[in-house]
Amino acid sequence: MELEGVLLGMGNPLLDISAVVDDEFLQKYDIKLNNAILAEDKHKSMYDEMSAKFNVEYIAGGATQNSIKIAQWLLQVPGATSYMGCIGKDKYGEEMTKNSKLAGVNVHYYEDENTPTGTCAVCVVGGERSLIANLAAANCYKSEHLKKPENWALVEKAKYFYIAGFFLTVSPESIQLVAEHAAANNKIFTMNLSAPFICEFFKDAQEKALPYMDFVFGNETEARTFSKVHGWETDNVEEIALKISQWPKASGTHKRITVITQGADPVCVAEDGKVTLFPVILLPKEKLVDTNGAGDAFVGGFLAQLVREKPIKECVRAGCYAANVVIQRSGCTYPEKPDFE
């Protein structure tokens, strides 16, 4: 099976500024654990304060980019994955490019001359993370970049697409172009609910993309928010997963499968009108470093098997393996070689 360029991701490339902080810091900046938000004015000073006050690590991140790198790591075929997004022409941007190329991902960044590379504060307390993203250059991605022949060639070549819901705030038109291409060419288009605020405040953009989604990923909090926003009056994750899988589709070639993770609880997979639960690999609390990138890693592991046309059970198993590796390390990082059987 020809794997080169098989998987293409598009999203917001961000440099994670990660630190173990304290409750006082969370309160000061009104931060809730296990959440992901966009930075507001009140958050502007927190990045410098984190660097000054806590032991900070800089890790190349951004949800989609994390998933693509994990898939690349598991596939172990150079250039099996590609990625597009917007960075600044600066030190952080150069680091990001170097990091991604080392990871074996074929990156085609759009470089914005006037805006710095985006950053994401990762605040960790008791192993749980909260994300506050300052998109900066990541917010400047334009569909004109996607349409350039050398970039559109990546779309033509790919058979699978993954875009985190976060990209709906940046370039819905790029998402639409790729989604329509996938539907017209019987390719697999996948997205993530990504965060409660996406389901709440970008509901229209999300609904426009949903008919094209062959796989919908998310966690239990996002699923419940999606349910609330659509007036479904249920908090039952299995019911919600089922309802999302039954949402009308743009193309009848592939059915939709919904995959919802629930932290230490089983992964919930809805397809063909039924739900299957898959237990995760449980980790003793003392081995947990932080949950940053756990959901991204799950998706990356899942996709690495999906592109090899493995059964869903194997995709979930690989997703759980990748998430288990990542939560024992800081940020979405991994050892040199996977030992997934």
Tokens (6 digits) for 67: 């998933």
Q: Which is higher by pLDDT, 234 or 291?
A: 234
Average pLDDT over residues 87-102: 92
The string of pLDDT tens digits covering residues 117-150 is 999 999 999 989 999 999 999 999 999 999 999 9
Q: pLDDT exceeding 70 applies to what percent of the chain? A: 100
Q: Which architecture, in CATH terms, is 7-13+61-117+135-327?
A: 3-Layer(aba) Sandwich (3.40)
107 and 132 Cβ atoms separated by less than 8 Å: no
Mean pLDDT of the chain: 95
Cα–Cα distance, 295 to 193 (Å, whole number) = 11
Each domain of the chain, given as residue ranges in start order, spans: 7-13+61-117+135-327
Q: Model's pTM, two decimal places?
A: 0.94
**Range with the poorest average pLDDT among 72-76, 88-92, 152-156, 249-253:** 249-253
Average pLDDT over residues 180-196: 97
pLDDT higher than threshold 90 for residue 333? no
Residue 319 pLDDT grade (very low, low, confident, very high; cuts 50, 70, 90): very high
Angle between helices 63-75 and 294-306 (to 10 degrees): 50
pLDDT higher than threshold 90 for residue 341? no
Q: What are phi and psi of 174, to 5 degrees?
A: -65, -40
Average pLDDT over residues 180-192: 97
Cα–Cα distance, 325 to 319 (Å, whole number) = 10
Residue 293 pLDDT grade (very low, low, confident, very high; cuts 50, 70, 90): confident
Hey, which residues are catalytic here? Answer: 296
pLDDT given for residue 251 in this prediction:
83
Residue 289 pLDDT grade (very low, low, confident, very high; cuts 50, 70, 90): confident
pLDDT higher than threshold 90 for residue 40? yes
Task: Count the neighbouring beta carbons within 10 Å of the beta carbon of residue 243.
Answer: 18
